[in-house]
Chains A and B, each alone.
Chain A
Amino acid sequence: MPYVEKFKGPKALNGKEFTYCPGCHHGIIHRLVAEVIDELGIQGKTLMVSPVGCSVFGYEFFELDGTVAAHGRAPAVATGMKRATPDKVVFTYQGDGDLAAIGTAEIIHAANRGEKITTIFVNNAIYGMTGGQMAPTTLLGMKTTTSPYGRRAEVEGHPIHMSEVIKELDGVAYLARTKVNTPMDVKKTKAAIKKAFEAQLNGDGFGMVEILSTCPTNWGVSPVEANKWLEENLVKEYPLGTFIDKVGEAK
């Protein structure tokens, strides 16, 4: 027996190397979701709905039955899936372009219906895969390829706060905004993800965790600077916290 056992990832990940850019938080978030699935013992009955955007490949890394929804439609796909097989655990994994722009209607209505699904919402305030265009969550003054003069409220409108919008909906059982740029935040995010899944397992309603995340490549900074920029700018616009926690209140 070797003194140190070889490092093993969670069972809910299949061990394939992630294809994300250096410093991107998708890898951390994938791992947290997988650890939660392992700990809850639900790997054999969890169905994953991947989005479009950088994390379109999510289904490739999880050892779970998975599909890829059209841009923004993951909550509708998950709704159809969950209602067809209520004994399964269904989650969507979506970015801000997916969830806060083209898929706004689908997320609002799935949350409002109290769909017993879980949504992992990764917000890095920019379109990643298409090459750094403005997202609905892009900060005022932030330069992107489609807001080259910096986002102006009077031209491009204001950053949209999805958690604050969704928290007004009665179907939501768990809703939190977290980040993963420090070890303590990673622990807190994992706890939040677990609660969001428990909201589904208990039949309490819709659960979502919005996770503030980096995009060093499209922000044009190093991974370390990206973590700092997130702390100094994103958190100011998108305050962290638990907005709704009704887990265990159903029945």
Chain B
Amino acid sequence: MAEKVMVKGTEAIGEAAIRAGCRLYYGYPITPQSELTEYMARRLPEVEGTFLQAESEVAAVNMIYGAACTGRRVFTSTSSPGFSLMQEGVSYIAGAELPAVFVNVVRGGPGLGDIQPGQCDYFQATKGGGHGDYRMVVYGPESLQEAVELTSKAFDVADKYRVVSMLLADGLLGQMMEPVEFPDFVDLNTLPDHSSWAMTGNEGREAHKVTSFNIDPYGLEEMNERYQATYKKIIENEQMHEEYMLEDADVVIVAYGTIGRIAKSVAKMAREQGIKAGVFRPITLWPYPYEALSKFTDQAKLFFTVEMSAGQMVEDVKLSVNGKKPVEFYGRMGGVVPTPTEILNKLKELV
């Protein structure tokens, strides 16, 4: 196993993508993730990969589409306004059943917003964004080590199901430095074989048509049924979450990403003050671990959701709890990161 190295978040994700076998990056710089684009520009030629700075996020996502048609592992990264521009292409990639991996390092919004960490793209990531009935697998890492591991996972899952997967990070994760242990480089010869559908030239075989298009409504409905069957398998097999000090918890703090990490400090502080709190941290934001969270509805007196948004994930927490126990929310917006003390103070008010 490799040694731990000190790296910046954006660069850790880039290196993880390369180690996962990705040799193609098309992207467009945007704060707070431009270092990831820069890292790929520097690093990809060293591994005989391809980097291209697109003229816009709209072009970048369509370059991803084109490359994904050839069956190769492709990757891009952006931040909130950039991901909004990419939605058109994400919908087409999902419709054409192509594997591709995105990173959205979320910043404060809406509109141009600011360049501070945010979690306000949760709805866009987990409920849609582009047009049509599609889903993407969305991971919310809490640390750089987890971001590295989930990057590999994101490529594997995208390849396995031929879907879009995404790391929903935030500016905090993108900009922090932490020691990380990288996995070994994947042997490119062991990557999944996509020759049954990919566009590689029809020498000696029938032509492959890779599209999201079907003018016949019954035909298109069939395609949609196929997408939904895939999503059902993903729901069954790919849910991930972490439980922290929940064995005897009266209060279940629900938080993801870097706020999930902060929530663990809050739970520890709360216990020192006699409040039995624990943390439920969803790692896959879609598929959301509804059932795993709903198991605490008998035991807990209160569910407390904390986010850097106006309360987007709180809707999924409410779906899990299904009215059986109160669900409270605390959030900061505009790129403001809540401190453990202010979260604890809010929790004490509620208890």
List the interface of chain A (C-beta within 8 A of B). Answer: 14, 43-47, 49-50, 56, 59-60, 62-70, 73, 76-85, 88, 105-106, 109
Are B55 and A81 in contact, CB atoms less than 8 angstroms apart? no
User: Could you tell me the distance between the alpha carbons of A76 and B92 in the complex, rounded to whole angstroms?
Assistant: 13
Are B207 and A80 in contact, CB atoms less than 8 angstroms apart? no
Residue B213 interfacial (CB < 8 Å): yes
Given A73-B65, A77-B62, A84-B66, 11 new contacts (CB under 8 A): A66-B208, A67-B69, A69-B65, A70-B89, A70-B92, A76-B62, A77-B63, A79-B52, A80-B62, A105-B55, A109-B59
Distance between B221 CB and nearest chain A CB, rounded to angstroms? 18
Can you pick out 6 interface pairs between chain A and chain B where the beta carbons lie within 8 Å of each other?
A59-B209, A66-B210, A79-B59, A83-B26, A88-B70, A88-B201
Tell me the B40-94 residues at the A interface (CB within 8 Å): 50, 52, 54-56, 58-60, 62-70, 72, 74, 88-89, 92
Are B199 and A56 in contact, CB atoms less than 8 angstroms apart? no
Q: Which residues of A contact B58 (CB under 8 A)?
A: 73, 76, 105-106
User: Could you tell me the distance between the alpha carbons of A59 and B67 in the complex, rounded to whole angstroms?
Assistant: 17
Distance between A105 CB and nearest chain B CB, rounded to angstroms? 6
Distance between A9 CB and nearest chain B CB, rounded to angstroms? 15
User: Could you tell me the distance between the alpha carbons of A45 and B74 in the complex, rounded to whole angstroms?
Assistant: 21
Q: Which residues of A contact B207 (CB under 8 A)?
A: 14, 62-66
> Nearest B residue to A117 by beta-carbon distance?
B66
Q: A67-B209, A69-B62, A70-B88 are in contact. Are A105 and B202 (CB under 8 A)?
A: no
Distance between B164 CB and nearest chain A CB, rounded to angstroms? 15
Instruction: Output the residue of A80, A83, A88 with the most chain B CB within 10 A.
Output: A80
Are A68 and B66 in contact, CB atoms less than 8 angstroms apart? no
Are A83 and B52 in contact, CB atoms less than 8 angstroms apart? yes
Are B24 and A83 in contact, CB atoms less than 8 angstroms apart? yes
Are B201 and A84 in contact, CB atoms less than 8 angstroms apart? no
Are A84 and B213 in contact, CB atoms less than 8 angstroms apart? no
Q: Which residues of A contact B69 (CB under 8 A)?
A: 47, 67, 77, 80-81
Q: Which residues of A contact B56 (CB under 8 A)?
A: 105
Are A56 and B213 in contact, CB atoms less than 8 angstroms apart? yes
User: Could you tell me the distance between the alpha carbons of A59 and B201 in the complex, rounded to whole angstroms?
Assistant: 13
Are A84 and B52 in contact, CB atoms less than 8 angstroms apart? no
Q: Which residues of B contact A45 (CB under 8 A)?
A: 201, 203
User: Could you tell me the distance between the alpha carbons of A67 and B69 in the complex, rounded to whole angstroms?
Assistant: 8
Distance between B82 CB and nearest chain A CB, rounded to angstroms? 15
Are A47 and B63 in contact, CB atoms less than 8 angstroms apart? no
> Nearest A residue to B210 by beta-carbon distance?
A67
> Nearest B residue to A64 by beta-carbon distance?
B207
Are B202 and A73 in contact, CB atoms less than 8 angstroms apart? no
Q: A81-B66, A83-B67, A84-B50 are in contact. Are A68 and B199 (CB under 8 A)?
A: no
Are B202 and A43 in contact, CB atoms less than 8 angstroms apart? yes
Residue B204 interfacial (CB < 8 Å): yes
User: Could you tell me the distance between the alpha carbons of A73 and B58 in the complex, rounded to whole angstroms?
Assistant: 8
User: Could you tell me the distance between the alpha carbons of A67 and B213 in the complex, rounded to whole angstroms?
Assistant: 9
User: Could you tell me the distance between the alpha carbons of A139 and B142 in the complex, rounded to whole angstroms?
Assistant: 57
Are B92 and A80 in contact, CB atoms less than 8 angstroms apart? no
Are B70 and A81 in contact, CB atoms less than 8 angstroms apart? yes
Q: A69-B62, A70-B92 are in contact. Are A81 and B67 (CB under 8 A)?
A: yes
Q: B59's contact among A62, A66, A73, by CB below 8 Å, is which?
A: A73
Q: A64-B207, A67-B69, A70-B89 are in contact. Are A88 and B59 (CB under 8 A)?
A: no
Are A70 and B199 in contact, CB atoms less than 8 angstroms apart? no
Q: Which residues of B contact A77 (CB under 8 A)?
A: 62-63, 65-66, 69
Are B199 and A66 in contact, CB atoms less than 8 angstroms apart? yes
Q: Which residues of B contact A78 (CB under 8 A)?
A: 66
Q: Which residues of A contact B251 (CB under 8 A)?
A: none
> Nearest B residue to A66 by beta-carbon distance?
B209
Residue B124 interfacial (CB < 8 Å): no
Distance between A215 CB and nearest chain B CB, rounded to angstroms? 20
Distance between A145 CB and nearest chain B CB, rounded to angstroms? 22
Distance between B75 CB and nearest chain A CB, rounded to angstroms? 12
User: Could you tell me the distance between the alpha carbons of A59 and B89 in the complex, rounded to whole angstroms?
Assistant: 19
User: Could you tell me the distance between the alpha carbons of A35 and B344 in the complex, rounded to whole angstroms?
Assistant: 73
Q: A44's contact among B63, B66, B202, B212, by CB below 8 Å, is which?
A: B202
Distance between B96 CB and nearest chain A CB, rounded to angstroms? 7
Q: A85's contact among B55, B70, B204, by CB below 8 Å, is which?
A: B70
Are B55 and A109 in contact, CB atoms less than 8 angstroms apart? yes
Q: Which residues of A contact B210 (CB under 8 A)?
A: 65-67
Q: A44-B204, A64-B202, A70-B92 are in contact. Are A80 and B55 (CB under 8 A)?
A: no
Q: Which residues of B contact A73 (CB under 8 A)?
A: 58-59, 62, 65, 88-89
Are B59 and A76 in contact, CB atoms less than 8 angstroms apart? yes
Q: Which residues of A contact B89 (CB under 8 A)?
A: 70, 73
Distance between B303 CB and nearest chain A CB, rounded to angstroms? 41
